[in-house]
Amino acid sequence: MSDRPVALVTGASSGIGAAIARSLAPTHDLLLGGRDETALSLLAAELPGATAWPFDLTDVASADLGAASRLDVLVHSAGIALLGPLAEASRDDWRRTFDVNLFAVAELTNLLLPRLREAGGHVVLINSGAGRNANPGWGVYAASKFALRAYADALRGDEPSLRVTSVYPGRTATPMQEDVRRQEGGDYDPAKYIDPASVGRAVASAVLATPDAHITEVVVRTR
Ligand SMILES: NC(=O)c1ccc[n+]([C@@H]2O[C@H](COP(=O)([O-])OP(=O)(O)OC[C@H]3O[C@@H](n4cnc5c(N)ncnc54)[C@H](OP(=O)(O)O)[C@@H]3O)[C@@H](O)[C@H]2O)c1
């Protein structure tokens, strides 16, 4: 690694996380988090200063934290979305969703806090429009994202040396959105949704803001 700042992006094997990695690559060395080792290696080969860092967020303790000897930016993009009415949500649906969308975020942040504090670093949390409005059929996912919003706000207060940014994208053209449309029983036309690169650019603008500016929330909607 060089003397450039270092960013860890979870969910970098796909969609918004991969786009964020591409947006940060010109200014940051990158650790690319995810489970799909092939996708991570392909992206690492494309981006100078990027290293694949495969691990499962449901087993954060298994991650080799030595890879992040310095950390300036931690972007939590990994997430899952299981749709359906609350009456049909099982304990396993709740547990799987909260494991990835919230508990892993809290656990990984805590493990990396010493390095982030040392750097006066930045934590970016990819939330969702569903973290601001809970619509029918979206209860479990929305609850996890409302909780993620609370987590971000509390972290900002607890850790005054850090910058903490919540990003709320609307529907974005990624494999998750394709799966969401399948769960909704509708067609998937990526042209109708936000380009993940646009979310990547929004994240980069928050990360690259001058030190006097703390961009706490970014909302990205479809036009
Ligand atoms: N797409 C949208 O419309 C939309 C809108 C608003 C907010 N969001 C949010 O944006 C974020 C990224 O979503 P996306 O659309 O880019 O989804 P995506 O294309 O499905 O990517 C999800 C990412 O999460 C990772 N992930 C999931 N479970 C994991 C686990 N157990 N351990 C490690 N990594 C795991 C996946 O890695 P592997 O595949 O390698 O396991 C993948 O890289 C999510 O937090 C989502 O809630 C998405």
Q: What is the pTM of this model?
A: 0.98
168 assigned to active site = no
Distance 212 CA to ligand 1 centre (A): 31
- Ligand 1 pocket (Cβ < 6 Å) reads 11, 13-17, 34-36, 56-58, 77-81, 100, 126, 128, 169, 171-172, 174-177
CB hemisphere CA count around 13 (13 angstroms) = 16
CA-based nearest residue to 127, from 21, 220, 7: 220
Q: Which of 141, 151, 168, 193 is catalytic?
A: 141
Handedness of CA 162, 168, 174, 177 (dihedral sign): positive
CB hemisphere CA count around 39 (13 angstroms) = 17
Instruction: For residue 61, report the phi and psi dihedrals to the nearest 5 degrees.
Output: -60, -20
3-state secondary structure of 165: strand
Q: What structural domains does the chain harbor?
A: 6-220 (3.40.50.720)
In the chain (223 residues long), the average pLDDT of successive 10-residue segments reads 90 98 98 98 97 96 83 98 98 98 98 97 98 97 98 98 98 98 96 98 98 96 92
Q: Convert the pLDDT of each residue in 109-163 to its tens digit.
A: 999 999 999 999 999 999 999 999 999 999 999 999 999 999 999 999 999 999 9
- Report which protein residue has its CA nearest ligand 1's atom 11: 77
